[in-house]
Amino acid sequence: MPAKPSWSDRFASRMRGESGMSTAEYAVGTLAAVAFAGLLLKVLTSGTVQSALTALIERALA
């Protein structure tokens, strides 16, 4: 009777084809991060948010 493969051998054989993200996944992830950063920048530089943050800081320092 052949020896039963260990847990680590079975895990490694399943993971060999999935060694990391592909270039397309990196591109989509980078695009999503840039889009989120742009949205965050737009929100934080809006007049409403700037005035709210200014009022919060002034109240904290007073």
- For 12, what's the count of Cα atoms within 13 Å in the CB-facing half-sphere? 5
4-33, pLDDT tens digit by residue? 767 777 776 666 655 566 788 889 999 999
Q: Is the pLDDT of residue 62 over 80?
A: yes
Choice among 12-16, 42-46, 50-54 with the minimum mean pLDDT: 12-16
Choice among 2-6, 41-45, 46-50 with the minimum mean pLDDT: 2-6
- Asked if residue 43 lies in contact with residue 49, where contact means CB atoms within 8 angstroms, the answer is yes
Q: What is the C-alpha separation between 12 and 8, in angstroms, rounded?
A: 6
Percent of the chain topping pLDDT 70? 79
Predicted TM-score (pTM) above 0.75? no
Which residue ranges make up each domain of the chain? 22-61
